[in-house]
C-alpha cells in the first residue's frame, strides 16, 4: 500500500501536471467498490470544475476544486482519492491504451486525461465540500515533540502498532515504521508506555528523516507503485531492515529478524534495537 512518501510524490507530480486545468467530463466504471460517494455526486462535483491544486492529507490525495457558477462566485469542493493497495493516478495522452481495471477517466481542457487504475479495487473515490474532509491524526512531518509524546506515551500497544495507527499519525505505514524504529534503536514489539521521552524524541527525529529521505527519492517501489508519470521510486534501495529478513544488519552484521505484529510483517535488528 502506498504510504506517506509515495502519496506525497504522486500529489506533487499531479499538482505540477494538472493544477489550473479544467475537468470537462468524467467517465466512471461499473464496479461499485471504488466509489465511496455516489457516481452521480462525483460526476456533478467534478465536471466543469477547475483544479486549483493537488495535495496530500495523510494517505489521501486531495484535489481542491473551484466550481464555476453563473452570476455567483465559484464554490469550493474536494475530490478525495485513496489509492488502497494497488491504485494509480496517471496523466495520459487520450490515445494511450486504457489499462484493464481503469475505474475513472477525467478528460481535461488541456487535452490530457487523468486516469484512476486499481486492479484490486481497494482504492476509494469520494467528494466533499471544502473543509469537510478530515484524514484523522496529525501530520508526522509537522508534529512537535510534546504532541508526539502525548499521543504515544501511556499506550499499552507495541510501538509499531502505535506508529501505524492512522488516528494518531497520518500516513506512516509498515515500511517507514520499520525503518524509523531501526534508526531510533527501538524494537517494534516494545510496549509504547515503556519508551522514555528521550527515546521518543529520537524516534520522532527518525520518522521525519526517513519520510523526508523517501520523498526525495520518490518513495519505495516494492510492488505496483509508480508516480503520476509512471516512474518508480528509489528509496527501496536505501532500506536498512524492511524486506531484509536473514540478511546482515548494515551496522552490526547480525541477521535481520522478521516477526508479525497485528498481522503485519515487522523487520528489526535484534542487537541494534532494544
82/34 Cα distance (integer angstroms): 9
Q: Among residues 3, 6, 8, 179, which one is catalytic?
A: 3
Specify whether 3 is catalytic: yes
Specify whether 50 is catalytic: no
Residue 194 DSSP label: G
Q: Among residues 107, 121, 208, 264, which one is catalytic?
A: 264
Residue 30 C-alpha cell reads as 461499473
239/247 Cα distance (integer angstroms): 12
Classify the phi-psi angles of 178: left when phi > 0, otherwise alpha if psi is within -120 to 50, otherwise beta.
Answer: alpha
| CA distances from residue 149 to 143, 146, 162, 196, 216 in whole angstroms, order as listed | 10, 5, 11, 9, 27
Specify whether 68 is catalytic: no
Q: Among residues 59, 88, 244, 257, which one is catalytic?
A: 59
114/24 Cα distance (integer angstroms): 11
With 0-12 / 13-18 / 19 or more C-beta atoms within 10 angstroms meaning exposed / middle / buried, residue 3 is buried
Measured CA angle at 258 (ends 257, 260), to 5 deg = 145
Do residues 176 and 241 touch, judged by C-beta distance below 8 A?
no
Catalytic residues: 2-3, 59, 264
Amino acid at each position: 500500500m502506498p504510504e506517506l512518501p509515495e502519496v506525497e510524490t504522486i500529489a506533487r507530480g499531479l499538482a505540477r501536471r494538472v493544477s489550473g486545468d479544467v475537468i470537462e467530463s468524467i467517465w466512471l466504471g461499473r464496479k461499485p467498490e471504488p466509489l465511496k460517494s455516489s457516481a452521480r455526486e462525483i460526476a456533478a462535483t467534478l465536471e466543469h470544475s477547475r483544479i486549483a491544486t493537488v495535495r496530500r492529507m495523510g494517505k489521501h490525495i486531495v484535489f481542491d476544486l473551484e466550481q464555476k457558477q453563473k452570476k455567483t462566485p465559484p464554490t469550493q469542493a474536494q475530490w478525495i482519492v485513496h489509492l488502497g493497495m494497488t491504485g494509480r493516478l496517471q496523466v495520459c495522452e487520450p490515445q494511450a491504451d486504457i489499462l484493464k481495471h481503469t475505474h475513472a477517466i477525467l478528460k481535461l481542457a488541456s487535452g490530457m486525461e487523468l486516469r484512476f487504475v486499481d486492479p484490486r479495487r481497494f482504492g476509494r473515490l469520494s467528494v466533499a465540500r471544502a473543509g469537510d474532509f478530515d484524514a484523522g491524526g496529525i501530520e508526522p512531518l509537522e508534529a512537535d515533540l510534546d504532541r508526539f509524546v502525548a499521543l504515544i506515551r501511556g499506550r499499552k500497544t507495541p510501538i509499531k502498532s502505535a506508529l501505524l495507527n492512522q488516528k494518531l499519525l497520518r500516513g506512516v505505514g509498515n515500511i517507514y515504521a520499520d525503518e524509523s524504529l531501526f534508526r531510533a534503536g527501538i524494537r517494534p514489539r516494545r510496549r509504547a508506555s515503556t519508551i522514555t521521552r528521550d527515546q521518543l524524541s529520537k524516534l520522532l527525529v527518525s520518522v521525519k528523516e526517513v519520510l523526508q529521505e523517501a520523498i526525495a527519492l520518490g518513495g519505495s517501489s516494492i510492488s505496483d507503485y509508480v508516480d503520476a508519470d509512471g516512474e518508480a521510486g528509489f528509496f527501496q534501495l536505501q532500506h536498512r531492515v524492511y524486506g531484509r529478513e536473514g540478511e546482515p544488519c548494515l551496522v552490526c552484521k547480525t541477521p535481520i529478524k522478521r516477526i508479525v505484529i497485528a498481522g503485519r510483517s515487522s523487520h528489526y535488528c535484534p542487537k541494534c534495537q532494544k
